[in-house]
Amino acid sequence: MTRRAWPLLAPPLVWLGVFAFAPLVFVLLLAFAQRGRPFETEFSAAAWGRLLDPAWLTAFRRSAVLATATTAICLLCGAPLAVFIARRPPRLRRALYLAVVLPLWANSLALTYAWMFVLRPSGFLDQVAQGLGLLAPRDTFALLGTPGAVLVGTVYAYLPFMVYAVYTSAERLDWRLVDAAEDLGATRATALRRVVLPLLRPGLLAGSILVFVPVLGAFVVPDLLGGAKTAYLGNVLRDCFQHEPSDWPLGCVLSVVLLLLVAGALRLLARLGGGIDAIA
Amino acid sequence: MSAPAVELRSVSRSRGGRLVLDGVDLAVAAGEFLALLGPSGCGKTTTLRLVAGFDAPDAGAVLIDGRDVRGVPPYRRDVNTVFQDYALFPHLDVFANVAFGLETAAVPRAEIRTRVDEALALVRLEGLERRRPSQLSGGQQQRVAVARALVRRPSVLLLDEPLGALDLQLRRRMQEELRALQRRLGTTFVYVTHDQEEALGMADRVGVMDAGRIVQIGAPRDLYARPVSRFVAEFIGETNLLEGVVRAVDGERVAVDVDGVGAVVAEGAAAAGVRVALAVRPEHVVLADDGLPGVVDDVVWNGAGVRYRVRLAAGAALAVRDARGALGVGAAVHVRLPATDVRVLAG
């Protein structure tokens, strides 16, 4: 690095140091503080012992299942959609792409409330189903407050990220390679498996990370669509800090563990995906 | 006589309301090297895609080795393609690219090894098996594309502007290599190009295409010597196009009153009184002591000879090629147009 680059780099470095790195250090320090007195200098590892609390383990498992299911559904629906859009003529392509990412421009809280109105008893979904004769009058699917409703909410909220990531790869893909594969005796399925998927892999990986990581720590969608009783990792974490009696050290321990787990998962993905470049 | 390796029977194809192929008839004999030559948009690549199976005709039939291949997908056709810009798999190395077409055919692993080695030796790429396409030069990529297509031992190899991305020197060398390869293997080649020098130099026969039709097909020498139309005459080599009215007909020869030139005798058929176009190659215009008087008004030297522009006293300008090239601008000359080298064009 040249000497002259330093003045330019100073602002971002200071910013990162103060607003990104320092809070991480605080979190790590607080993980060793005492419950109820987080800012005293006396250190304690007591919070780490509470890590095995079944409540937190249940929340973790629930969040892991939710994040995995959301990622899988987003992959299965988002990837074909992204490929479809990428292969349209330019003008249609732009319009379709816009339609997919449009929800990202709206307030996510408002959109989640909208889903409450759709899923609640006698809500939009029930009414449509009753109108079509799929549901008895005055009956309900009773979806609101179930894990299914949470899944619907997270898939809805994060699908655009998957489409965006895969679209970026699909747009750059030279589709004549599929012709070449078929010319060399590959059926459609073989061409997909041996040519298309490997070349889309960076986008599939990036999209999976963009969906999996935030859903793992999500709490707004679970709060609103999952009901008060089902706690996900994000809710547990938030409660550690917000609710009395608060438990900041445990919250920080959970954050650190979550960070390590995500880092580990990314490393694994990077290895599977042939280098960190595929993810970045 | 055995069935042609590839046959098109009045094949038409339109796309977006435009007729891309307009009743194309074509038969390529087994072992033949056929070039399809034409400007971009003439339908030559579409013809290739119909044979490969990436596209289907709206009307007419495509036959490979005598069998109608309607509805047969590309992966079931005994043809392989060398794509324009090669379409090599970027995520696979050279070996895996070439092996791809054998793996899809479930060839045993040991046989794949030997056949890929053979194919790479054929195009002189031994030792580069582990390189990715992005690590190869344009010429090397081109060879991989040829090896990848030939390793399946297809009865017909389709080549779509295979040398278009290479510089002139490399293109010349690859032309020779591909020609030698074709002779050695005896594989039928259908070779699409817009480069007339390439088509004339490599192919046994050349089909000239224009606006979705094959306007003339024949041996390179015949096309050059006897173009049937103004389009073919202009597209293949350099030519002097003249226009005039037929004054008299005598068997295979006609006497024409050419605008700006005078009386010229040409070969071909036309009715008296009709307005016709004539073509004469610059190297066939003879500088002589007598004939049509004119003045040299431009001289271009290109190493192998000289190209004069001669302004005739009667008004027209003719391109004249001459090996010696001793004349300067302003020199007074006489030119003659030998009847055997002047052709009457159809349109």
Confidence class for position A280, pLDDT limits 50, 70, 90: very low
A217 confidence band (pLDDT: 50, 70, 90): confident
Q: Provide the CB-side half-sphere exposure for B179 (13 A, CA).
A: 15
Among B54, B75, B88, whose Cβ lies nearest the Cβ of A185?
B75
Q: Can you give the pLDDT at residue A232?
A: 87
pLDDT band at A38 (very low <50, low <70, confident <90, very high): low
**In a structure prediction context, what are the per-residue pLDDT tens digits for chain B, which is 347 residues long?**
578 999 999 999 998 889 999 999 999 999 999 999 999 889 999 999 999 999 999 999 999 999 999 999 999 999 999 999 999 999 999 999 999 999 999 999 999 999 999 999 988 898 999 999 999 999 999 999 999 999 999 999 999 999 988 888 888 988 999 999 999 999 999 999 999 989 999 999 999 999 999 999 999 999 998 888 889 998 888 899 988 999 999 888 999 998 888 888 998 888 888 899 999 999 999 988 888 889 999 999 887 788 999 998 888 889 999 877 778 888 899 999 998 899 998 75
| Residue of chain B nearest A176, judged by CA positions | B87
Give the Cα separation of A168 and A177 in Å (integer).
17
Across the interface, whether the CB atoms of B87 and A177 are under 8 A apart is answered: yes
A277: exposed, middle or buried (Cβ count in 10 Å: 0-12, 13-18, 19+): exposed
| B residues 94-153 lying closer than 8 A (beta carbon) to A | 100-101, 104-105, 148-149, 152
Instruction: Compare all CA atoms of chain A with the CA of B87 and give the residue at the minimum distance.
Output: A177
Q: What is the pLDDT of residues B300-322, one digit of tens each?
A: 988 778 899 999 888 888 999 98
- Whether residue A198 and residue B81 make contact (CB cut-off 8 A), yes or no, is no
Q: Is the peptide bond preceding residue B220 cis, with omega within 30 degrees of 0?
A: no
Q: Which amino acid is at B330?
A: G
Assess contact for B135 and B152: CB atoms under 8 A.
no
Whats the size of chain A, residue-wise? 280
* Across A50-79, average pLDDT: 89
**Residue A277 pLDDT greater than 80, yes or no:** no
Taking CA atoms, what residue in B is nearest to A274?
B91
Could you tell me where the DSSP H helices lie in chain B?
Answer: 44-52, 94-103, 109-122, 138-150, 168-185, 196-202, 220-225, 230-235
Best mutation target, B15, B82, B91, to test chain A (most A CBs within 10 A): B91
Q: Which two tokens stand for residue B299?
A: 């001289």
CB contacts of B80 in chain A (<8 Å) are: 183-184
pLDDT of residue B148: 95
For an interface test with B, the pick among A169, A179, A184 (most B C-beta atoms closer than 10 Å) comes out as: A184
pLDDT tens per residue across span A176-216? 999 999 999 999 999 999 999 999 998 999 999 999 999 98
- In order of A97, A171, B2, B181, B253, the CA distances from A90 in angstroms are 10, 11, 48, 41, 57
Q: Is the dihedral of CA B200, B201, B205, B210 positive or negative?
A: negative
* Among B53, B87, B91, beta carbon nearest to A180: B87
Interface test with B, best of A177, A183, A196, A197 (most B CBs within 10 A): A183
